[in-house]
Amino acid sequence: MAVTIRELSKRCGLSISTVSKALNGYTDISEATREAVTQAAKEIGYYPNSHARALKTKRSYNLGVLFVDDRQSGLTHAFFSFVLESFKKEAERNGYDITFISHNMGESTMTYLEHCHYREVDGVCIACINFLEPEIAQLVNSELPIVTIDHLFNNRTCIQSNNIVGIQMLVEHVYNRGHRKVAYIHGPKSAVTDTRLGSFYRTANALQLEIPDEYIEECEYNEPSSVYRATRRLLALKNRPTCIFVSDDYAALGAYEAVSDMGLTIPGDISVVGYDGIPMMQLMKPRLTTIRQDTGRIGAEAARKLVALIESPKTAIPEIMVIPCTLLEGETVRALTPPADPGL
């Protein structure tokens, strides 16, 4: 139904080859005919059929996106949807569509890599996944251009949010407001979690904050109910913390609920900070103090780097790009006057 290059060539009175070359910037075509061809192409709305082109050139102008979080929230993931949106926008700006990579297509099951080959995607962006799965390893060890988000692989480009500084800023922030008893409900084991937890301990250490083991709880990312339970446990401690770090903004809703259910208030009885900076939590009462990850840049840079790897494989070298984040000061951290630090 769509118009093909044959019709265009008929219309121009030129051979198919000439038309193709005119459109693809070959130099052995006179300016006059190039003009005529592009003009005619515009008039009849000609676009080269992507499949025919992909078949010939091995380039599909499709980027694979692989995102599978533990909770299977998929596209509804509060944080990731922002990253994906900007990734998509930047990809489109470069002429790429995106394809979600999964391993259950119809009857058959294909591995991620097989799906990538099947659709012949030009590159893949991997995010928020269980990076230890063997299928991921198969993909990462393939010849495909790959950009990962927040997880570093050998010799692969990675876009990282600056989790070290992010957590550091948060710890310092609550410290400066007088908090000395700080708990952390962190996510399940992963590169991101490790980094954040490491930075948490390190910063606490530098500030001579003692973190008892009972202040460290584990939860699922993006899962308010698991944070709810962890929060209740923390609030039930004899030596109750004055401030709780929560794995992520969305899950922090669980903390809000737990505090409220126990008849307490934020920040009156307990301070809470999140991580991500999704818009929704800035509309809460009280507004959440958190770290805003620059999802716009993370997604866009991921797309940009991936396109660079695809289009200029010689010059584009694997690199680690760290995206800065910012502290969003909300209303969930109470200022204390710590008796132990009269000198401040």
Answer with the entry of DNA, its own copies, none that 119 interacts with (C-beta below 5 to 8 A by kind).
its own copies
Q: Are 300 and 344 in contact (CB under 8 A)?
A: no
Strands 320-323 and 157-161: parallel
Q: Between 71 and 117, name the residue whose CB sits nearer to DNA.
A: 117
Q: C-beta of 165: minimal distance to its own copies in Å?
A: 25
What size, in residues, is the chain? 344
Q: Locate 233 and state its tokens.
A: 């446990």
Strand partners, 192: none
Q: Interface with its own copies includes 132 (CB under 8 A)?
A: no
Of these, 10, 43, 57, 198, which contacts DNA (CB under 7 A)?
Answer: 57
Task: Select the span of 1-9, 198-206, 308-316, 322-330 touching DNA (CB under 7 A).
Answer: 1-9
Q: C-beta of 77: minimal distance to its own copies in Å?
A: 8
Q: Quickly list DSSP for 134-158.
A: HHHHHHHTSSS-EEEES---TT-EE
CA distances for 314 relative to 181, 233, 300, 318, angstroms: 51, 54, 21, 11
Task: Select the span of 51-59, 153-161, 215-223, 323-331 touching DNA (CB under 7 A).
Answer: 51-59
The interface with DNA within residues 15-44 (CB under 7 A) comprises 15-18, 20-21, 23-24, 26, 28-30, 32-33
Spatial distance between the Cα atoms of 112 and 118, rounded to a whole number of angstroms: 10
Spatial distance between the Cα atoms of 273 and 171, rounded to a whole number of angstroms: 10
Q: Between 44 and 335, name the residue whose CB sits nearer to its own copies.
A: 44
The SS3 assignment for 158 reads strand
Answer with the entry of its own copies, DNA, none that 224 interacts with (C-beta below 5 to 8 A by kind).
its own copies
Q: Are 310 and 95 in contact (CB under 8 A)?
A: no
Q: Are 79 and 250 in contact (CB under 8 A)?
A: yes
Of these, 39, 49, 109, 260, which contacts DNA (CB under 7 A)?
Answer: 49
Site map 55..84 versus its own copies, x via CB under 8 A: x----x------------xxxx-x--xx-x
Burial class of 240 by CB neighbour count within 10 A (0 to 12, 13 to 18, 19+): middle
Q: C-beta of 36: minimal distance to DNA in Å?
A: 9
Strands 271-273 and 216-218: unpaired
Site for its own copies (CB under 8 A): how many residues? 58
Of these, 204, 256, 303, 308, which contacts its own copies (CB under 8 A)?
Answer: 256
Q: C-beta of 49: minimal distance to its own copies in Å?
A: 7
Q: Interface with DNA includes 45 (CB under 7 A)?
A: no
Residue that is written with structure tokens 């909770």 in the block = 71
Enumerate binding residues for DNA (CB under 7 A): 2, 4-6, 13-18, 20-21, 23-24, 26, 28-30, 32-33, 46-49, 52-53, 55-57
